[in-house]
Amino acid sequence: MGQSLLELTEKLMQEIGIPSQPRLLIELNKELSKEEPNFSIISDLVSRDVGMSAKIIKVCNSPFFGLRQRVDSINRALSILGLKNFKNVVLASALADNINSSSIGSKDFEYFCNHSLFIARIAQAIANRLPFEIKRQVDPDHAYMAGLFHDSAIPLLIKKHKDYFVKIADALKSNVSMVSVEEEAYHTNHCLAAYFVAKSWGLPENVCIAIMNHHQTDLVAVEDLGARRLLAVLILAESIIYYKDNNMTYIFDIFNYNIGEGNYGKIQFELDLTNDDISDMEDSVAEILDGVQP
């Protein structure tokens, strides 16, 4: 019996070498899990890693967070962002640091990181605007994680397959399914590969499932309700199309998004959203997008 695509992907990722969750994150999560996390311990823990501290401060000062006050230290970042948002920044910085590769040009990698952070922030914003009953099952921080990690395996696949970047670029230009091209050429796809990255970093199971299925053409195929609703948020976040004009207009272009318009009604059903609800969300999204080039 032949191996499944998931089994082949797991074998491939073992060959590539999945970056393990950094010790810094393990220790940070341990402190954050306490009933009363100690800000001083967290600050000292992160500040010990000078290189990571610099990356964290850079992310804090990026347009993605839109902070009115400039961050110049880890203590300052903690006090302005709060524990949850600070952890999200550390996660973004650590992920970028661990999946970088010399196979990718610096500008391309910067674009990739910006895109991932962009989707993470949009997904988090959408989750924060969901109806109360739905929001109970879709943690905004989980939405952030799903957005941040959904394409995390792409740099690793570029490192493994020298022609990967060209093949995928050609597929996107031709409006061909990225996943079908990956599976035909490499017997895997970036969704499955990112699932193993997320698992390796100890992300919640519903986040891992959403990541694995983020190019799924049938939302209902995901059986777990929490994961399915999180996936709906991620798909909606990826469908954002923005137009920079005098009015700074932003819309969710779900009908033209490559997931397929058939999912639009399913997304609305899963998240209990009307067309007006989705239009209202664009105002929140616009606040994040203003001045940002993903």
Q: Is the predicted pLDDT of residue 244 greater than 50, yes or no?
A: no
Q: pLDDT, tens digit, for every residue of 67-110?
A: 778 899 999 999 988 999 999 999 999 999 999 876 677 788 88
In a domain, 192, yes or no: yes
pLDDT at res. 105: 76
Question: Does residue 31 lie in a domain region?
Answer: no
SS3 97: helix
Quote the CA–CA distance of 115 and 180 in Å, as a whole number.
Answer: 22
Please tell me the predicted confidence (pLDDT) of residue 252.
63
Given this model, what pLDDT does residue 293 score? 45
Instruction: Please give the C-alpha separations between residue 22 and each of 17, 28, 94, 202, 264, in angstroms, as whole numbers.
Output: 14, 10, 7, 11, 37
pLDDT tier for residue 1 given thresholds of 50, 70 and 90: very low
Residue type, 242: Y
Phi, psi of 127, rounded to the nearest 5 degrees: -60, -35
Within a domain: 245 = yes
Rounded to 10°, the helix 74-99/23-32 angle is: 140
Whether residue 248 is predicted with pLDDT greater than 50 in this model: the reply is no
pLDDT band at 256 (very low <50, low <70, confident <90, very high): low
Residue 39 makes CB contacts below 8 A (sequence gap 6+) with 78, 79
Does some domain include residue 72?
no
Establish if 93 belongs to a structural domain: no
Give the C-alpha separation, 37 to 43, whole Å.
Answer: 11
DSSP H or E segment with residue 252: strand 249-252
- The Cβ of residue 61 has, within 10 Å, a number of other Cβ atoms equal to 15
Distance CA 166, CA 158 (A): 10
| Residue 250 confidence (pLDDT) above 60 | no
| Chain segment 178-201, per-residue pLDDT in tens | 888 999 999 999 999 999 999 999
H-helix or E-strand containing 242?
strand 240-243
pLDDT at residue 26, rounded to an integer:
93
Higher pLDDT: 210 or 252? It is: 210
Question: Does residue 42 have a pLDDT over 90?
Answer: yes
Q: How far is CA 180 from CA 24, 125, 187, 235, in A?
A: 37, 30, 9, 18
Total domains, the chain: 1
Place of tokens 């739905």: 134
CATH number for the domain harbouring residue 254:
1.10.3210.10
Range of the domain at 276: 5-18+101-289
pLDDT at 16 over 60: yes
62 part of a folded domain: no
Instruction: Tokens for 291, please give them.
Output: 């001045």
CB 215 within 8 A of CB 189: yes
Query: What are the tens digits of pLDDT across the range 114-130?
Result: 889 889 989 998 999 99
- Ranking 133-142, 185-194, 261-270 by mean pLDDT, the lowest is 261-270
57 domain-assigned: no
Is residue 94 within 8 Å of 203, Cβ to Cβ? no
Residue 173 within any structural domain of the chain: yes
Distances (CA, A) of 93 to 113, 127, 275: 9, 22, 35
In the three-class reduction of DSSP (H, G, I as helix; E, B as strand; rest coil), residue 243 is classed as strand
